[in-house]
Amino acid sequence: MALLEIKNLHARVAAAGGRDILKGVNLTIDAGEVHAIMGKNGGGKSTLAQVLAGREAYQVTQGTITYNGHDLQELSAEERAREGIFLAFQYPVEIPGVSTSYFLKAAVNAIRKHRNQPELDSFEFLKMVKDKMQLLKMDQSFMNRAVNEGFSGGEKKRNEIFQMAVCNPKLALMDETDSGLDIDALKVVANGASSLRGPDRAIMLVTHYQRLLDYIQPDYVHVMLDGRIVKTGDKNLALELEARGYDWVEDEAA
């Protein structure tokens, strides 16, 4: 059974009551796989990631999402997180007054409690996160800073991947993690994410650019246009998109 199976998914912004942004997405992701979702702005890539993470601003109007045997729509955002879904935010949120260490410990313990594992105390927690900080080249002082407050764009993205490493998800959703990064920051973030590849974990990454895929080579590349996946290929498709743009895919799909 696939880890994630999306069938004919339609979704829209709940408040606006407008038309669907996702217009029949079909996607199957197995454990161990890396899927890249590419496409023009406004095609629904980020919406798909948000819907999977359980953001209530979006309303599913049709279709099904099955994750690890669950009907995903039955689960709240926090339940999804506890069941192993992790969203690396495109725009990570600043939380003044809450330290990264407290924030992450609360997250880890919420997940552990759900899995009937004993909660970690501060000492055990710090031991657990130590080598993960090295992986993302993060300074010790980082844990004492308020979550994302005053962080540079690169620091925020590194923090997302660091959290991903700590939360140890089954399904990692990376929403334009590469946007706004210079080449050095991109390397750190991409290598960190790449090292989290494993047979028990699936990664879905949403990106505009091929350059991230030099570091995390995808098993599948999907092109999303106007709310649907219109083309699927392997990593060579990303190279072709980089060279030729999206118009030819659009023409093909039409």
Partner 1 sequence: MTQLAEDRQTGIAHSKGIHLANFSRHFATGEKQSAVVAHPWLDDLRKRSIARFDSVGFPTTKQEDWRQTNVNAIAKTPFKLAGKPKDGSAIEHARCFGFADEAACELVFVNGRYEPQLSRLGKLLRGLKVVSLASAMPTPQATEIRDHLGKYADINANPFVALNSGFIDDGAFIRVPRGIHMEAPIHLLFISTADGGEPTVSHPRVLVVAEDNTEFSFVESYIGASGGEGAGAYFTNAVTELVIGENCAVDHCKVQHETDDAYHVGTMQVRIGRSSTFVSHSASLGAKLARNDLNVIFAGEFAEATLNGIVLLDGTRHCDNHTLLDHALPNCPSHELYKHVLKGKSTGVFRGKILVRPDAQKTDSKQTSKSLLLSDDAYMNSQPALEIYADDVKCTHGSTTGPVDEEMVFYLRSRGVGAEAARHLLTYAFAADITRRIRISPVRRLLEDYMAQQAGLPQDLRITDLGHHDEASR
100 binds partner 1 (CB under 8 A): yes
Pattern of binders to partner 1 over 51-90, x per CB under 8 A?
A: --xxx--------------------xxx--xx---xx-x-
163 binds partner 1 (CB under 8 A): yes
| Token couple for 171 | 């399904």
Cα–Cα distances (Å) from 227 to 174, 177, 194, in that order, read: 18, 21, 27
Query: Would you say 104 or 136 has its CB closer to partner 1?
Result: 104
170 binds partner 1 (CB under 8 A): no
Pattern of binders to partner 1 over 15-44, x per CB under 8 A?
A: ------------------------------
138 binds partner 1 (CB under 8 A): no
d(CA 31, CA 5): 11
177 binds partner 1 (CB under 8 A): no
Query: Would you say 26 or 109 has its CB closer to partner 1?
Result: 109
CB of 63 to partner 1, least distance (A): 22
114 binds partner 1 (CB under 8 A): yes
Residue 50 CB burial class (10 angstroms; 0-12, 13-18, ≥19): buried
CB of 31 to partner 1, least distance (A): 20
Other beta carbons less than 10 A from residue 204's beta carbon: 25
Amino acid at 246: Y
d(CA 59, CA 56): 7
CB of 199 to partner 1, least distance (A): 23
Cα–Cα distances (Å) from 15 to 11, 12, 50, in that order, read: 12, 9, 15
135 binds partner 1 (CB under 8 A): no
d(CA 141, CA 136): 14
Rounded to 10 degrees, the C-alpha dihedral 71/73/78/81 comes to 50
- Out of 26, 28, 101, 168, the only residue in the binding site for partner 1 (CB under 8 A) is 101
d(CA 247, CA 241): 9
Query: Would you say 92 or 227 has its CB closer to partner 1?
Result: 92
CB of 30 to partner 1, least distance (A): 23
CB of 230 to partner 1, least distance (A): 28
What is residue 169's three-state secondary structure?
coil
Residues that bind partner 1 (CB under 8 A): 53-55, 76-78, 81-82, 86-87, 89, 92-93, 95-104, 106-108, 110-111, 114, 122, 143-147, 163, 167
